[in-house]
Chains A and B, each alone.
Chain A
Amino acid sequence: MTLDRARPLLLPLALTLAFELWARLTHLQSDSLAPPSAILAALAAALADLSIPIATRDTLFAAFTGLAIGSAIGLSLGIAFGISRPLDRLMEVTVEAIRPIPSIALLPIALIALGFGYRMEIVIVAFACVWPMLILTRSAVRSIEPRLMEMSRALRLSAPQRIAKIVIPAALPRIFVAFRLSAGIALIVAVTVEIAINPIGLGAGIMLAQQALRADLMLAYLLWIGVIGYALNILLIAAQRRLFGRAALAGGNP
């Protein structure tokens, strides 16, 4: 790594070091804070005894399944609403009435209907992921160059051909941005559900550490969630570059 790329890391490293020094000099005794060295040690131990890997598996399974279901629903509805104005108008009130409900507010209902476990968490994550996907896909489809739609009529493309060959490719770069947004939301909602009530995954791990007054372990979980979120974003950006490098250049879409 060159010095140029390392420079943004200097401030966090310096702060961490300062915190470590301060914690040691003052012989920090706290239920909410722990020196960085203790956090790293707790993280290493939790990774080694597989408690964090297993929790990660549970959280990501719920988050990704919910993301897949929610995005699929949001994508199909977004395309349908984007193509058909009458349908969009018909559904407008329904969508705008359901959309502002915080997904976490569904927790009590989901709990009664589905009980603890993956299913309840997946449903809530999916609910949260539908909306950014729906809204952004709809606007992406609407902003497709009208001439392209006219051209597809002139060529007599069938409706499925039109969607597969014109609408989706034209809207794809923006749909992918919506997907990245949804992926972030999926992780947040999954962990929130686990912290609130569901006894699986990383969120439950944080709650367990908190109740055991293990500030170091609690912060280790936080650090780990940060790492996962960061890695997820890097992965998706890399995928975006790979998939749309050329199309993004040609179409001028983000």
Chain B
Amino acid sequence: MSVVAMLDEARAARRQKTLIAFNAATLRLGGKTIIENLDLEVRPGEFLCIVGASGCGKTTALRLAAGLHRPTSGAVTFDGEPITEPRREVAIVFQDYGKALLPWRTAAGNISLALEASRVPARERGARIEALLRKVGLPGHADKYPSEMSGGMQQRLQIARCLAQEPTTLLMDEPFGALDAMTRQGLQDEVLSLTHASQTTVIFVTHDLDEAIYLGDRVVGDLPRPRDQLATREHPEFLRLRRQLFDFIKATEH
């Protein structure tokens, strides 16, 4: 993997433990080396952003952490155990929300799928679905089909389904890449507050530097919290980081 831009911050001081660890992880698929000797540690409760040019293996690294791939050599561990398959406490938000939702189920039905998978009794599902829809800002849309919802709403729905798993870790693969700028900013703030409130660990893959710096925890230097879509983005530290990251990615692209 050529580019993993992780930048550091202080909030991690009280969490020394490692939740997800890549140890010299290498992945070859179809004779091509996609990731080579990746070392990366993710601590509990951390919001980690992976940025890089397209095709550099960001998504593949995320899929390793998800257990959708196994490393060819090296190890990827969750809480010390090697990840061999997807785990219930790790939820994945896919970029193509339209393909990851069941078109023949309503919004409520799609969330219910996650509850059915964890064998939640049928009588408890209704209340939990309602609470989840409210949490992601979709109250009153329970009976809509995904095809009747906008892109932003569909992505909210996918996030709600992931939250239904009650994950301790969220893996997000360019979740807002296909959304328009305004929807995107709204969702960024909501994901920040949702995950911050529940101390959820997040690995967030994006090709958007601004997004990575805005959301990320581990950033060199210190950006004031709470984040603000305008003030944070105009903060000199934000601009400095942006410049630094940009140069870094530019340099690794060849």
Contacts and interface: CB of A to CB of B under 8 A. Distances in A.
A148 B94 contact: no
Nearest to A247: B104
Contacts of A247: 103-104
A166 B96 CA distance: 17
A148 B100 contact: yes
Contacts, number: 58
A156 interface: yes
A154 B147 contact: no
A251 B103 contact: yes
Interface in A132-175: 145, 147-148, 150-151, 153-158, 161, 165-166, 169-170
A148 B99 contact: yes
Contact count band on B: 20 to 34
Interface stretch (B24-32, B76-84, B109-117, B236-244): B109-117
A123 B97 CA distance: 46
Interface string B100-135: 101110000000011011100000000000000000
B174 to A, nearest CB: 14
Given A155-B117, A246-B104, A145 B99 contact: yes
A163 B113 CA distance: 13
A153 B116 CA distance: 13
Contact of A147 (B99, B104, B117, B147): B99
B99 A153 contact: no
A161 B117 contact: yes
A249 interface: yes
Contacts of A9: none
B69 to A, nearest CB: 11
* A interface secondary structure, majority: helix
B147 A249 contact: yes
B146 interface: yes
B132 to A, nearest CB: 14
B104 A250 contact: yes
Given A165-B116, A250-B146, A154 B102 contact: no
B178 interface: no
B68 interface: yes
Residue from A157, A161, A249, A250 whose CB has the most chain B CB atoms within 10 Å: A250
Interface of A: 145, 147-148, 150-151, 153-158, 161, 165-166, 169-170, 246-247, 249-251
Interface of B: 66, 68, 85-88, 91-92, 94, 96, 99-100, 102-104, 113-114, 116-118, 145-147, 161, 165
19 contacts: A147-B96, A148-B99, A148-B100, A148-B102, A150-B68, A153-B85, A154-B86, A154-B91, A154-B92, A155-B86, A155-B114, A155-B117, A157-B113, A166-B102, A170-B102, A170-B104, A249-B147, A250-B146, A251-B103
7 closest A-B pairs by CB: A250-B103, A147-B99, A247-B104, A155-B117, A250-B147, A154-B92, A154-B86
Given A147-B94, A154-B86, A155-B113, 20 more contacts: A147-B100, A148-B99, A148-B102, A150-B68, A153-B68, A154-B66, A155-B117, A156-B87, A158-B117, A161-B116, A161-B117, A169-B102, A170-B104, A246-B145, A247-B103, A247-B104, A250-B104, A250-B146, A250-B147, A251-B103
